[in-house]
Amino acid sequence: MQRPLRATLRDVAIFKGLTEDARGRIELSCTWKTWEREESILRFQDETRDVYFLIAGKARVMIYTPDGRQVTFRDIGPGDMFGEFAAIDDAPRSASVEALQSCVVACMSGSEFRRMLRAEPTVMEAVLVHAIAQMRGLTARIVEYSTLAANLRIRAELLRLAKNGMVEGSDVVIYPVPTHAEIASRITTHREAVAREFTSLTKKGLIERQGQQRIVVKDIERLARMVEDAAGD
C-alpha cells in the first residue's frame, strides 16, 4: 500500500528516544493503512500478530459480551500503539479495536516487532513502561468494580476524564465528553445510571453540562475528595 503523504512515526510515543535515522529504518519496515469510521481494525480472538501505531484518528479497544453488550477498555489516539500483546506472547487477540474516526495506521509484523525490540533497548524499555501503565489502569478499574457502587465508579471515571481536560480558570472542561453509553461501557454499568449520577452532580453544583459534548467540572478538588473518601471506606 502506498505510504500516506507526510506519514511518519515521529509522534509515536515508544519511538521518542530514537535518532531520526533509526526511526527512519523502522518506518521502512511498516506498511501504511487507512480504516474508516466504525470499521474493525482488530477482532477479539483473531490469530493475526501485527502491531499497529496510530498516526491519525481515534480508535477504541473493546470486547463484546455474548449478549452483545460492549465493554470498553480504553480509547487510542495519535501516537499510541496497540496489538503488541499478541506479537509478544503469540496468543490470540485479547480484545477488538474499532475505528471511531478515519484512522491512518502504521502496521508492523509481529516478527519484525520482536526483532526491533532486541535491536533497540530504548524502544524495549518504552514498551515495558507502556504495558505496565495499562496493567495499572486495568487494576484500578478492577478494584473500583469490586469495591465501589455504580455511582461512585461514575465519579471516578469523571475524575479521570477531568484530569485530561482543559483548565479554564478554576474550571476544568471535558470536551468532547463521551456519551452516557460510552461511560457506562467503561465502568460496567448502564447509561441510565450515568444519566442519574450526572443529574445528581449537576444539582450539587459540581458539574455543568454545556450542550451535548461539553461538561464543565466546577470543583475538581471536591470531586477528587469524593472519590478518595469512597475508596477509603
pLDDT at 108: 97
CB-CB neighbours of 157 under 10 Å? 22
As a CATH number, domain 149-232 is: 1.10.10.10
Write out the three cell numbers for 83. Answer: 496489538
Instruction: Give the separation between CA 188 and CA 150, rounded to whole angstroms.
Output: 8
* Domain range summary for the chain, segments of one domain joined by +: 13-144, 149-232
CB-CB neighbours of 206 under 10 Å? 19
**Which DSSP category does 157 fall into?**
H
The overall average pLDDT reported for the chain is 92
pLDDT at 86: 96
Q: Which alpha helices (DSSP H) does the chain contain, by range?
A: 20-28, 84-89, 110-119, 121-147, 150-163, 180-187, 191-203, 220-232
pLDDT at 233: 63
Given a cut of 80, whether residue 230 has pLDDT beyond it is no
What is the length of the chain? 233
pLDDT at 158: 94
**Which DSSP category does 178 fall into?**
P
Span 148-165, pLDDT tens digits: 999 999 999 999 999 889
pLDDT at 232: 65
- Regarding the domain delimited by 13-144, which CATH topology (the fold level of the hierarchy) does it fall under? Jelly Rolls (2.60.120)
Phi and psi, residue 19, nearest 5°: -70, 165
Span 85-125, pLDDT tens digits: 999 999 999 999 999 999 999 999 999 999 999 999 999 99
Write out the three cell numbers for 18. Answer: 530514537
Instruction: Give the separation between CA 94 and CA 222, rounded to whole angstroms.
Output: 37
